[in-house]
Structure 1
Amino acid sequence: MTADRQPLVVVGDVLLDQDVSGTATRLAPDAPVPVVEVSGEHSRPGGAGLAAALAAREGRDVVLVCALGSDEASEAVRAMLPAGVRLVEIPFEGALPVKTRVLVEGRPLVRVDRGGGTPGPPGAGVRAALAGARAVLVADYGQGTAAAVRGALAEAARRLPLVWDPHPRGPRPVPGARLVTPNGREARHFLREDRPGDAAVPAEGDDSLRAHRTRGALLAERWLAGSVAVTLGERGAVLTRADSDDALYVPVAGCGEGDPCGAGDCFAATAAGVLADGGLPEEAVGRAAEAAAAFVTGGGLRAEGPGAGGPRATRTPPAGRAGAGGAGDVGHAGDPWALVDAVRARGGTVVAAGGCFDLLHAGHVQFLENARRTGDCLIVCVNSDASIRRLKGPGRPLNPAADRMRVLAGLGCVDAVLEFGEDTPEALLRRLRPDVWVKGGDYRVDDLPEAAALREWGGQTLVLPYLDGRSTTELARRAAFARP
């Protein structure tokens, strides 16, 4: 096997997933429960089987190490795995778990779980598969496979990228894992189990990005992991390390309406693929968040087919703002300071973003939409005309401050707009004291002079990229050379 054909090896618990779809228009006469008239049934590999199928969607060689038996559910999974997935089996005593969801108009009504068993000892084939891997994804569903293979996984983590998608009933990740991907609920659980009563652990009900960052860093330290990405559904993910105060917030352009089941497997499979190709954790988490959002928006599991090889989805932008400080609270003509006080009184998160915003373009809009998702209100801090002239030179700005502020205030994701005349917004931020300060572009947090001020009151600084190929300078150049 050549280096460029080394597979991604997925290790974990395989399930058989079943969806029973129908409609419910009446209650049963003998009990106050809905009667579901079934219109269709659909089965597919679940758990690590789904993660492997998703990883193989774009032609990647995938080896799935899992426990399968001789029962009907195991045979069904073997038959449904796509051709790009090669099986390395571990003996299994019992019946493969079957997870059945009853869906009414696309929404789960009830779930029924049955089956279960115990994986046997891994054979030589498992070690051979890991020895030939380019990267490893552990898709743990708490059924015992990760524990059975733990020794071989610990050895693999010392020499190649390993992504661990943990489960509350499973073992903790092996030391040296390149990336661990708990969701927000799982991160709370692991810290509750590992560090009960620790004052450094955020309160259970704290859903702020700062709390998720702290939980991720504590888990990275506890697990001796290279990095931890706490996934937050439609809010994106927070990537942290044990040895750094900085965190990378990775938003998504909007998940839209859809079935989130399987999105975590899509996230982990995508991240493992990026690391297998030599990418960094930051790139892996960014692409994984986008892929998971597209998966949900595109119909999720229902669009994937039995082997999870269906069409890739495209994202749709969110409609307006949501959450505290929502649409209509305060516009340009309102009182931003009153808005900030009201949001803080409700225990919300105040977000500020800054820039020139001369010739507002699609990159700006995506940046501001993503910034708004990080908290409960968004205050945009805009450079004055004199400030822009000092920074950009003669001929700028193209639009005066009053016009730029009016356009920004008209965006659904912007709650209020403030102007500052200095070269940096530090003085304004000291008055505003936001919980989160967001800057767009190719900066590093340490390069922003205002980042030090944010740390004084416990605020967090985030850098979010603009859309590639969009810039005010380029738009102005094109307009200047456009023919009438």
Structure 2
Amino acid sequence: MKLVVVGDALLDVDVEGVVARVCPDAPAPVLDVTAEHARAGGAALAAAFARADGLDVTLVGAVADDEDGRRLRALVEVPAVLGGSTSATPVKTRLRSGGTSVARVDRGGGPGGPEVTDEMLDAVAAADFVLVSDYGRGLVRDRRLRAVLARRPVVWDPHPRGPAPTPDARLVTPNLAEASAFAGTSDPYAAAEALRDRWRARAVVVTMGCRGVLLHQGGTPVVVPAPKITVTDPCGAGDRFAATAAARLAAGAAPDDAVAAGVAAAADFLARGGVDGLRDGVSTVDKSDALSTVDAVRARGGVVVATGGCFDLLHAGHVRTLTAARALGDCLVVCLNSDASVRRLKGPGRPVTGQDDRAELLRALDCVDEVRVFDDDTPQRALRELRPDVWVKGGDYSAESLPEAELVRGWGGRTVVVPYHRGRSTTGILARRT
């Protein structure tokens, strides 16, 4: 399966520093620069995401022959067919401190525009599937290119300054602000319906950030919720979503399945640090050393709390215990017994609920920040890896009687017991049903 990503490649630069003072002559923060990181953004980032997923990917775009353009070409991580451009290479520079953008400086673009070559057209014509990643720089306005795109199966990620997608696009993926501007309404349902008709697309999905996405492919729209994560910088999430959705559609998935996969991939990308996890290229995005919830809490001096158990049939006693545990710190990690572990502890009839569903239910609770599944009979190895500041159990015994107490004390942590809720247990619920 050959995927071609067509669109505008940008040069993204992050200037990192520390803000500890304000200008004496203006109410502006002073950024003392400590580092600078550059990467290929825009369509080049979307293509890199697709390649990291194992696809055969080629980037088709246009880059100016200027200093920034040469720097951008060197940073592109996938095979590319790049024409020239008579306008300056677009550069987006973010000034950042403590993981937050202080300001963004844009340059490039201007008079002129991209030049579409026969080689670029041939690369698109040879594609099995195409992702159009439009950043409003004029490339996909080209008449010859649009004629080729109209004959290929396409997912189109539009831009307010760009043209309409070619007719019969498999999926068009505007965000809510873009869809509202295109359709003239802030109602995502009305916008998706109007744009699907106007663009003669097979499906339109409106991405809505933490509210998830809304898919309209005729009939009743489908809403796919987004996982609960803390997001400080959503940069790159749209490219991650579009690349995954295109890959799944290209592999034959139904639109709703492709969109759901895109939502999950974008959420995972942000949970692992977003663009801050791309310092050495997109291939690092799935490494375990990317910034996790626990890492982020520790980086700011917060308290990591952990608890553990089977949580086979989630009930009020569980929720009360988890809520009490979360109140003891800045994040709560649940160490969850795997299905094999539960069977060894509880017998062949357990668990009633599989580990994936149990983990999903726990993650849906506001008091739970992360779930880690372990396969041992006890959580001790999981605890050694996590090293929480506070280990919490619910029960009618003392903290010091717990077998994990000495282990946790070894790295300076403490063990806490929260109230036990009599009459509320999975065993009791199952007994009453029989």
| Counterpart for residue 298 of structure 1 | 272
Instruction: Give the match's secondary structure for 1:137.
Output: strand
- Answer yes or no: is 1:21 the counterpart of 2:16: yes
Q: Secondary structure at the match of 1:39?
A: strand
Shift in CA distance, 50/251, structure 1 to aligned 2, threshold 3 Å: same
Q: Does 1:169 align with 2:161?
A: yes
Partner of 1:236: 212
Q: CA deviation at 1:370?
A: 6.3
Deviation at 1:156, TM superposition (A): 3.4
For 2:364 and 2:211, locate their aligned partners in 1 and report how far apart those are by CA, in whole Å.
9
CA RMSD of aligned residues (A): 2.9
| Whole-angstrom distance in 2 between the partners of 1:230 and 1:154 | 26
For 1:264, what is the secondary structure of its paired residue? helix
Indicate the SS of the match to 1:238. Answer: strand
CA contact (8 A) 2:121 2:148 kept: no
> Is the 1:168–1:189 contact (alpha carbons within 8 Å) kept by the matching residues of 2?
yes
Q: Deviations over 1:66-124 (max 9, x none)?
A: 11121011111111112xx1111222003201100001111111110111143344221
Q: Check if 1:49 corresponds to 2:44.
A: yes
**TM-score, reference length from structure 2:** 0.66
Aligned to 1:401: none
Specify every segment of 5 or more residues in structure 2 that has no aligned partner in the other structure, as ranges.
Answer: 295-315, 317-351, 367-425
1:115 aligns with 2:108: yes
Q: Which residue among 177, 192, 196 is the counterpart of 1:216?
A: 192
| Code of the aligned partner of 1:256 | T
**Compared CA separation, residues 288 and 313, structure 1 to 2 (3 A):** farther
1:256 to 230, 246, 254: 230
- 3-state DSSP class of the match of 2:135? coil
> CA separation in 1, counterparts of 2:16 and 2:182?
34
Partner Cα separation in structure 2 for residue 303 and residue 28 of structure 1:
31
Decide whether the 8 Å contact of 1:147 with 1:171 is kept in 2.
yes
Specify which of 64, 86, 91 is matched with residue 84 of structure 2: 91
Measure how far apart 1:214 and its partner are: 2.3
- Could you tell me how far 1:308 is from its partner in structure 2? 1.9
1:215 maps to a residue whose letter is A
SS of the residue 1:89 aligns to: strand
SS at the partner of 2:79? strand
Q: How does 1:31-430 map to 2 (within 5 A)?
A: 31-82=26-77, 85-117=78-110, 118-148=112-142, 150-158=143-151, 160-192=152-184, 201=185, 204=186, 211-241=187-217, 243-244=218-219, 246-312=220-286, 363=357, 366=360
- SS class of match (1:176): coil
Kept in 1, the 8 Å contact 2:124–2:148? The answer is no
1:60 positional shift: 1.7
3-state SS, counterpart of residue 170 of structure 1: coil
8 Å Cα contact 2:211/2:226 also seen in 1:
yes
Identify which range, 167-176 or 87-96, moves more after superposition.
Answer: 87-96
Name the CA shift for 1:370/1:147 in 2 (closer, same or farther; >3 Å): farther
- CA offset at residue 216 of structure 1? 0.8
Q: 1:290-346 CA distances to partner (integer Å, 9 max, x unpaired)?
A: 0000111101111123532213279879xxxxxxxxxxxxxx9xxxxxxxxxxxxxx
1:92 aligned counterpart, secondary structure = coil
Give, in whole Å, the separation in 2 of the partners of 1:231 and 1:122: 30
Structure 1-normalised TM-score?
0.59
Paired with 1:249 and 1:367, the residues of 2 have a C-alpha distance of 19
Give CA deviations for 1:416-454 in whole Å, capped at 9, x if unaligned.
xxxxxxxxxxxxxxxxxxxxxxxxxxxxxxxxxxxxxxx
Give 2:282's aligned amino acid: A
Q: 2-side partners of 1:68 and 1:307: how far apart? A: 20
Aligned pair in 2 of structure 1 residues 45, 247: CA closer, same or farther (>3 Å)? Answer: same
**Residue in 2 aligned with 1:434?**
none
Residue by residue, what CA displacement relative to the aligned partner does 1:391-425 show, whole Å, maximum 9, x if unpaired?
xxxxxxxxxxxxxxxxxxxxxxxxxxxxxxxxxxx
Measured against aligned partners, the alpha-carbon deviations of 1:205-236 in whole angstroms (never above 9, x if no partner) come to xxxxxx32221111111110010110011222
Residues paired across the two proteins, number: 311
Inter-partner Cα distance in structure 1 for 2:227 and 2:287: 13
Distance 2:38 2:359 in 1: 40
- Whether the aligned pair in 2 keeps the contact of 1:24 and 1:37 (CA below 8 Å) is yes
In the superposition, relative to structure 1, how do residues 313 and 164 fare at CA in structure 2: closer, same or farther (>3 Å)?
farther
Contact 1:258 1:297 in 2 (8 A): no
Residues in 1 aligned to 2:365 and 2:31: alpha-carbon distance in whole angstroms: 42
Structure-2 residue corresponding to 1:320: none
Answer with 53-62 or 34-43: which moved more: 53-62
Rounded to whole Å, the distance in 2 between the matches of 1:219 and 1:137 is 18
**Code of the aligned partner of 1:230:** V
**What is the rounded CA distance, in whole Å, between the counterparts of 1:371 and 1:171 in structure 2?**
42
Q: Give the whole-Å Cα distance in 2 for the aligned partners of 1:316 and 1:184.
A: 27
Over 3 Å counting, the alpha-carbon distance change for 1:234 and 1:316 in structure 2 is farther
Structure 1: gaps (5+ residues): 1-5, 193-200, 205-210, 318-331, 333-358, 373-474
Code of the aligned partner of 2:10? L
Structure 2 counterpart of 1:262, one-letter code? G
Percent identity reads 44
Matching residue's letter, 1:66: G
- CA–CA distance in structure 2, aligned partners of residues 170 and 134 of structure 1: 24
Q: Distance in 2 between matches of 1:366 and 1:59?
A: 26
Secondary structure at the aligned position of 2:84 is classed as strand
Separation in 1, partners of 2:120, 2:222 = 35
1:363/1:316 CA distance change after superposition, 3 Å: farther
Amino acid at match of 1:169: R
1:283 CA drift (Å): 1.4
